[in-house]
A and B are shown apart, each in its own frame.
Chain A
């Protein structure tokens, strides 16, 4: 019964595909998977937008949207209809072709990333040998679309926002990749299915997730930071800093094209959360052995939503960084730490089984973190906080 529930979507797909003649079957199978991805993730996008508006409202001592439907749950539907029926404005001097293509390219590449994510047992659309590489290749292509949007608008704010976004995404892509390389070193494979498979083992009922190893934990933290910057989320939301740049690279977009950027941003957030969950939090594997009765896809989506809630919490908590702080943090702190982490992962591999490697690896990472932080802070010459007017 549990197995049946676990594989319910896979079996459903097989049933539907079985209805048509043989030569059409692979095409129908692919179309079904694509339709499922295109239906589920925008649905999750609506849920997370509502969650964000409600949650942020609560954190800021407001109620949040509460007019459309019971408790405001139909707000995303209303927003969608509004975006669809609004006029599509294009600035007179804009580069029309590029202006039109930018949101399309963004949405396409963002959705492509889902092709390799294992969303449950046997639920990967394209089980690719180099899945992780494919995912990062798609993520890198999103940068170009953001540049296209900012440049084609012929607006200073848009261009500044795009330049900031691209600089930030390039800088944080390096730690993002390098922190994932640790997982590749521990698994010996670039295939995301294999990575989940390795983590889906239990000792004393506890899972073998990579986040529970010293370098896995360090990589997890750095991955989370880099993923936040990569999706332009607060506290790294300089590219669309409202107080300085109106709305950054999508200032000149209205109506459905604006909605496409909004969708692209949230869907990218969901997908990078999915990748993070796959790499560090065991993907679709249950957090305790006895919880394996719950279907695997439930765990994948639950982990994504937990990650999204964490994002919302961070957005409600941290102030925005300054551009130089952002760059210094990426290149002078996160990058050296990821490189050290690679070294520690190698050390872990060659120290063999036993408790000693746990102590040594944890000690190295902890010492580097504390020393790096201390030295970095000292060079900034921060004194005790002083107030000019508030005393």
Chain B
């Protein structure tokens, strides 16, 4: 509980900083903090695989890609005006609606699931067996989808030989 009390504010603060800060690179770094906090929360819940994958994929790759995108597209100068967009009210409403739906689903799941006394021990090996056995088809579909999107990205970025130089 003490650990949760430390981690949860850290994660929320990271998330808030990501949308409130003026400097875009600071926002990206704050997002990385939020990701790391989330990963630690997973670890606190004994979900080793999810926690490490969160760090490896989000802190290690996604945050870096975000930062790269910021630096390559636009100079990272701080905007002179405020960071709030004009439609912040709409955004707030949408965010609140999403939160309400998620909260409703989470609160509803408590009665739907059988009440278990012993918490399940999920080892990484079991996740592997599940992915390679029961869920192999979804896994492969996701793999094909990712490959297709990657080829698409390469084609978009590829230098057109016949076109204007």
The answer to whether A133 and B53 have CB atoms under 8 Å apart is yes
What sequence of 0s and 1s flags, for each residue 21-43 of chain B, a beta carbon within 8 Å of any chain A beta carbon? 00101100100100010010000
The answer to whether B64 and A130 have CB atoms under 8 Å apart is no
In the assembled complex, the CB of B146 is this many whole angstroms from the nearest CB of chain A, namely 14
Residues of the A chain whose Cβ atoms lie less than 8 Å from the Cβ of B32: 144
Residues of the A chain whose Cβ atoms lie less than 8 Å from the Cβ of B55: 137-138, 140-141
Q: Say whether, besides A144-B32, A190-B124, A133 and B67 are in contact (CB < 8 Å).
A: no
Q: Say whether, besides A147-B67, A148-B29, A151-B25, A140 and B48 are in contact (CB < 8 Å).
A: no
Q: Which residue of B lies closest to A173 (CB)?
A: B60
The answer to whether A137 and B52 have CB atoms under 8 Å apart is yes
Residues of the B chain whose Cβ atoms lie less than 8 Å from the Cβ of A130: 48-49, 52, 124
In the assembled complex, the CB of A68 is this many whole angstroms from the nearest CB of chain B, namely 40
Residues of the B chain whose Cβ atoms lie less than 8 Å from the Cβ of A265: none
Q: How far is the CA of A143 from the CA of B48 in the complex (A)?
A: 22
Residues of the B chain whose Cβ atoms lie less than 8 Å from the Cβ of A242: none
Apart from the given pairs A141-B36, A144-B67, A188-B125, 9 other A-B contacts in the complex at a CB distance below 8 Å: A129-B124, A133-B52, A133-B56, A144-B59, A144-B64, A151-B67, A151-B71, A166-B68, A170-B61
Q: Is B63 an interface residue (CB 8 A)?
A: yes
19 contacts between A and B (CB under 8 A): A128-B48, A129-B125, A133-B48, A133-B49, A133-B52, A134-B48, A137-B52, A137-B56, A138-B55, A140-B59, A141-B55, A143-B64, A144-B59, A151-B71, A151-B76, A170-B64, A188-B125, A189-B125, A190-B124
Q: How far is the CA of A159 from the CA of B56 in the complex (A)?
A: 23
Residues of the A chain whose Cβ atoms lie less than 8 Å from the Cβ of B48: 128-130, 133-134
Q: Is A98 an interface residue (CB 8 A)?
A: yes
Q: Is A136 an interface residue (CB 8 A)?
A: yes
Find residues 185-224 in chain A having any chain B CB closer than 8 Å to their own CB.
Answer: 188-190
Find residues 280-319 in chain A having any chain B CB closer than 8 Å to their own CB.
Answer: none
The answer to whether A163 and B71 have CB atoms under 8 Å apart is yes
Q: Is B150 an interface residue (CB 8 A)?
A: no
Q: Is B98 an interface residue (CB 8 A)?
A: no
Q: Is B123 an interface residue (CB 8 A)?
A: yes
Interface centre among B53, B60, B64 (most CB of A within 10 A): B60
Find residues 105-139 in chain A having any chain B CB closer than 8 Å to their own CB.
Answer: 128-130, 133-134, 136-139
Residues of the A chain whose Cβ atoms lie less than 8 Å from the Cβ of B36: 141
Find residues 70-84 in chain B having any chain A CB closer than 8 Å to their own CB.
Answer: 71, 76
Residues of the B chain whose Cβ atoms lie less than 8 Å from the Cβ of A133: 48-49, 52-53, 56, 124
The answer to whether B123 and A137 have CB atoms under 8 Å apart is no
Q: How far is the CA of A141 from the CA of B56 in the complex (A)?
A: 7
Q: Which residue of A lies closest to B43 (CB)?
A: A134
Contact of A137 among B29, B60, B63, B68 (CB under 8 A): B60
Q: Which residue of B lies closest to A188 (CB)?
A: B125
In the assembled complex, the CB of B38 is this many whole angstroms from the nearest CB of chain A, namely 13
Q: How far is the CA of A139 from the CA of B29 in the complex (A)?
A: 17
Q: How far is the CA of A101 from the CA of B39 in the complex (A)?
A: 20
In the assembled complex, the CB of B46 is this many whole angstroms from the nearest CB of chain A, namely 10
Q: Which residue of A lies closest to B70 (CB)?
A: A151
In the assembled complex, the CB of B147 is this many whole angstroms from the nearest CB of chain A, namely 13
Residues of the A chain whose Cβ atoms lie less than 8 Å from the Cβ of B23: 95
Q: Say whether, besides A129-B124, A170-B64, A136 and B49 are in contact (CB < 8 Å).
A: no
Q: How far is the CA of A190 from the CA of B49 in the complex (A)?
A: 11
Contact of A129 among B61, B68, B71, B123 (CB under 8 A): B123
Residues of the B chain whose Cβ atoms lie less than 8 Å from the Cβ of A136: 52, 56
Residues of the B chain whose Cβ atoms lie less than 8 Å from the Cβ of A129: 48, 123-125
Q: How far is the CA of A313 from the CA of B49 in the complex (A)?
A: 38
The answer to whether B49 and A166 have CB atoms under 8 Å apart is no
In the assembled complex, the CB of A213 is this many whole angstroms from the nearest CB of chain B, namely 22
Q: How far is the CA of A144 from the CA of B67 in the complex (A)?
A: 9
Find residues 112-127 in chain B having any chain A CB closer than 8 Å to their own CB.
Answer: 123-125
